[in-house]
Structure 1
Amino acid sequence: MDKVYPDARSAVADIADGSTLAVGGFGLAGIPETLIKAVHEQGARDLHVVSNNCGDAHGGGLGILLAAGRVRRVTGSYIGENKEFARQYLAGELEVELIPQGTLAERLRAGGSGIPAFFTPAGVGTQVAEGGLPWRYSSTEPGAVAVASPPKETREFDGREYVLEHSIVADFGLVRAHRADRHGNLVFSKSARNFNPLAAMAGRIGIAEVEELVTELDPDEVHLPGVFVQRVVVLTAEQRGDKRIEKRTVRI
């Protein structure tokens, strides 16, 4: 099956208001920048974004959607240095579910594998399990919590306590890969693999922007099989080069 789309705009055209997007990347490494920009141009609003973080405050990655007020909810692990992300969260403009990074990875993987839930020791004895984490602050009463996380089921196995976490299934998974064939089999480059395979797995429709399209891939090369990818967008030379440096460090 040939899964190649002519451009990013056509690949994201059916992303509707209120959609859930699982988005690959870690910081600005391996982010599907071109697909994110296409979603911004397309106009979808009230999005629920599932990603390790939400871009940077300068419009990198998901930051462009955040700054435009198009994100309603974020499920992720890191607010970090994105001051606009923190501002919207503390001002009650944005709902944020912060979860342990490994738990996020496994919730995405489980969603793509057809596993509805799993038990993990991560978060036992904390508000992750007991509830009360602020998901949304009040927009009228500074510091007041408007929506808090609910308590989760816990169970003991072999004398150790575990918390039940539900898998994540998104409407779309947006990822960036180094190489692909026309069937959607993907190869990622080094650390840019990060959350990308998991985000594609969790999406009912996986959309991959790729730097290189090849006729054939050695099966042993494939990092993510094409069964998880429904659409492939081949990047132009300009788009391939659009890789931001999150922190430039020099040695004197």
Structure 2
Amino acid sequence: MIDKTIPSAAEAVADIPDGASLAVGGFGLSGNPIALIDALLAQGTRDLSVVSNNCGVDDWGLGVLLNARRIRKMTSSYVGENKEFERRFLSGELELELTPQGTLAEKLRAGGAGIAAFYTQTGVGTQVAEGGLPRRYDGAGGVAAASPAKDVRTFETTGTALPYVLEEAIITDFALVHAARGDTHGNLVFHKAARNFNPLAAMAGRVCIAQVEELVQPGEIDPDDVHLPGIYVHRIVTVGTGITKRIERRTVRTAEGQ
């Protein structure tokens, strides 16, 4: 019997070294593995290269690692809600590999599926394919490092010959994810919007660490309800259902008649 449970978040991330690459689940603040992120912050790990849709906000999610200057590079598709991210990128303190959102999702999935690279139409005719996207600034308004040009080939898939750009898969040293439910074998169930980049990030990590709100025994999750099979998960930490869940941007309207 394989029991993948770890007593605490601190123990689960203890072997993540300085300079490691991480795939981290979450979209905005939904599905952020905050207990694992906080444990990594407390541990003092630095010089991290992180792949995630975004970098949280200034005081939550991956933003806490960014504020502590623990992140060297981000590979993301959206960075608009984090003021410190903007400041550090424009000042040359942070490297950024900006990637179209669907492409980023497929790069993570491909890494987990053992696919080295794939061709996509997304980005053809732009700096994504042609190169020149700023990856790091020099602090004086100039570009210190830019993205390289990528291979573009023509394929006839719909009766019309069209150009496609080559995108390489992403595989990271570790993955940090959040799930609503999991069993001791690592089978995971994600709740609604938290089923965003979490399964994909989990697949891409050589070692996947999952925090779950509820831990059950093998067989208690119907196989048809499993969103991510335990083969991708190596460690599980229970964080309970009472953990804080932040909303990135709360919008309300006045009820009718008021």
Q: Is residue 91 from structure 1 mapped to residue 95 from structure 2 by the alignment? A: no
Q: What is the CA–CA distance in structure 1 between the aligned matches of 2:130 and 2:162, rounded to whole Å?
A: 16
Residue of structure 2 in register with 1:231 after alignment: 235
Relative to the length of structure 1, the TM-score reads 0.97
Mapping of 1:90-239 within 5 angstroms?
Answer: 90-139=90-139, 142-158=140-156, 159-215=161-217, 216-237=220-241
Residues 175-230 of structure 1: per-residue CA shift (max 9 Å, x gap)? 00000000000000011100000000000001000000112211001000000000
Q: What is the CA–CA distance in structure 2 between the aligned matches of 1:81 and 1:195, rounded to whole Å?
A: 18
Residue of structure 1 in register with 2:24 after alignment: 23
> What secondary structure does 2:30 align onto?
coil
Runs (4 or more) in structure 1 with deviation over 3 Å come to none
> What secondary structure does 2:248 align onto?
coil
Q: What is the CA–CA distance in structure 2 between the aligned matches of 1:198 and 1:18, rounded to whole Å?
A: 22
| Structure 1 stretches lacking a partner, 5+ long | none
Shift in Å, 1:236? 3.6
> What secondary structure does 1:5 align onto?
coil
Q: What letter matches 1:83 in structure 2?
A: K
Residue of structure 2 in register with 1:52 after alignment: 53
Q: What letter matches 1:209 in structure 2?
A: Q
Would the aligned equivalents of 2:22 and 2:50 in 1 still touch at CA under 8 Å? Answer: yes
Would the aligned equivalents of 2:212 and 2:240 in 1 still touch at CA under 8 Å? Answer: no
Q: What is the CA–CA distance in structure 2 between the aligned matches of 1:250 and 1:117, rounded to whole Å?
A: 43
Q: What letter matches 1:187 in structure 2?
A: V
Q: What letter matches 1:24 in structure 2?
A: G
Q: How many residues align?
A: 247
> What secondary structure does 1:31 align onto?
coil
Shift in Å, 1:152? 0.3
> What secondary structure does 1:112 align onto?
helix
| Structure 2 stretches lacking a partner, 5+ long | none
> What secondary structure does 1:14 align onto?
coil
